[in-house]
Amino acid sequence: MTEYLTTVGLEVHAQVNTAAKMFDGCSADYAGGDPNTRISVVSLGLPGALPVVNMHAIELAAMTGLALNCTIQPVSIFARKSYIYPDLPKGYQITQYEEPLCTDGWVEIEGDDGQPYRVGIERVHIEEDTGRLLHMPDGSSLIDYNRSGVPLMEIVSKPDIRSPEEAKRYFQKLRQILLWIGVNTGNLEEGALRCDANVSVRPPTQQKYGAKVEIKNINSFRFVERAIAYEVQRQIDELEAGGTIVQETRGWNEAQGITVSQRSKESAHDYRYFPEPDIPPLVFDAEWIAARVAAMPELPDARRDRFMAEYSLSRQDAELLTTERPVADYFEATVTAATSVGATARDAATWIGGELFRLLKDHNEGTEQLARRMPPQYIAEVLELLGKQTITRTVAKQLFEESFHEGSSPAAMVAERGLKQISDSDALSEVARNVVEQHQKVVAEYRGGKSSAIQFLVGQMMKATKGQANPQLARETLEALLGTPDSAA
């Protein structure tokens, strides 16, 4: 059987995180309030209503373009894309066509070979969202125009993606970047971020791309991967059986795990694009573009690389701590607090990536709770108590968890509850004598030559002191008490 090459391009629609809609100043909070309460003559498309561009949305889209390494075009033009559907009251969507806002960028993902791989970005353009249809059980349909006119960015990749897995990683990477710069909520379930996948296959000997099939409106990372994988196999099977691939639009049926033909694909001319006569061209001078560049925060990949270089973090830790911008900020605030008490950035990374993330997960809490649950200062306190050997590691973990639950300062808790490490040899000798008395059998094994048995006895001492015994001293005290094991046995 022939091997086939897979070619995928993604068109991602992302709602722009603005308070107002794209062209009329209505609230863009389409999910809030009753249906059809956030509408105007513009979002209803009434004759004679004139659109006014939301410049904040344009700014955020330009930021997005820059974050995706695109060029911001000095002049871009809105266009009308005509089609008839009940969720589109004007009979056309205002979008951009031949002259989009941003062009020719790239996003770096991890390729299937584990190497960094750049997926080209064809364009980022601005358009408006449609209304929403609700299909009722009795066969009737209701329409809510609250979403009509909500600002959207369409991010179109080049056909550079080579597998379902790469498509998923690309989509995830886009979400990470959009959230990072604050232009999108990242909420796939609500449809704030959704994608269409163009999929084709061809034999390696064939230069020309195979006929492409577009899978519409995929709204989860898992579905992207599954839908593309299914579609690739469907096309290969079709070709192997001697058939041909028809260019068409298909939908993903998650329940059955298949793509289903919806309609034959329209070509651009079916949409009768022409420049929107009611909106003048967007014109940006170099100064405006430079100001957007200056406002761009350090992006996740750059920050990951800096964490590795500046704090000697492993790539894995650096990646974990830069998945979301608030996490990266929280980590760096903790580094500042930790290094001021003599601990290292890696200590901070270990406690955040280990204990803290585990506790958040156990409590089903998101990373937005990090600083509230555990102020950076508290982590620094734990690290300082450990560094000065005031507490043991066991106590440190307990303390960390209690602090997480109660929101109280670990240093204060140590002072209040007397959790200090026991390094007093008289006190430890007494504990050791009790443990030896209670575990004569283990003591006999130890004396008989099973030197590892001492671990158990140390453990018993830790238990008896609620984790406060200095483990090294506890061990030494036991060894002194029991003498050297009989190595001859």
Residues lying near Mn ion in the complex (CB under 5 A) are found at 154
Which residue's CB is nearer to Mn ion, number 122 or number 154?
154
355 secondary structure, DSSP code: I
According to DSSP, the β-strands at 248-253 and 102-110 are: unpaired
Which residue's CB is nearer to Mn ion, number 154 or number 160?
154
The number of beta carbons lying within 10 Å of the beta carbon of residue 316 is: 9
Phi, then psi, of 196 in degrees rounded to 5: -110, 140
Q: Which two tokens stand for residue 80?
A: 């009308």
Distance CA 355, CA 271 (A): 55
Least Å from the CB of residue 22 to Mn ion: 13
Nearest to 254 by CA among 277, 234, 224, 284: 224
Which residue's CB is nearer to Mn ion, number 154 or number 276?
154
Least Å from the CB of residue 126 to Mn ion: 10
Least Å from the CB of residue 95 to Mn ion: 6
Which residue's CB is nearer to Mn ion, number 30 or number 351?
30
Phi, then psi, of 395 in degrees rounded to 5: -65, -40
Nearest to 460 by CA among 427, 425, 435: 435
Least Å from the CB of residue 127 to Mn ion: 5
Least Å from the CB of residue 264 to Mn ion: 19
Which residue's CB is nearer to Mn ion, number 12 or number 382?
12
Nearest to 146 by CA among 18, 35, 274: 35
Which residue's CB is nearer to Mn ion, number 282 or number 432?
282
Residue labelled with tokens 């911008």: 325
| Nearest position to Mn ion, beta carbon | 154
Least Å from the CB of residue 372 to Mn ion: 38
Which residue's CB is nearer to Mn ion, number 154 or number 381?
154
Least Å from the CB of residue 162 to Mn ion: 24
Least Å from the CB of residue 196 to Mn ion: 8
CA atoms within 13 A on the CB side of 110: 8
Least Å from the CB of residue 159 to Mn ion: 17
Which residue's CB is nearer to Mn ion, number 79 or number 356?
79
- For 207-213, which contacts have Cβ atoms below 8 Å and span 24 or more sequence positions? 209/7, 209/159, 210/7, 210/235, 210/239, 210/245, 211/244, 211/245, 211/246, 211/247, 212/7, 212/9, 212/247, 213/245, 213/246, 213/247, 213/248, 213/249, 213/250, 213/259, 213/265
Distance CA 186, CA 216 (A): 18
CB contact at 8 A, 66 and 107 = no
Torsion, Cα of 182, 184, 189, 194 (10° steps): -140
Which residue's CB is nearer to Mn ion, number 154 or number 225?
154
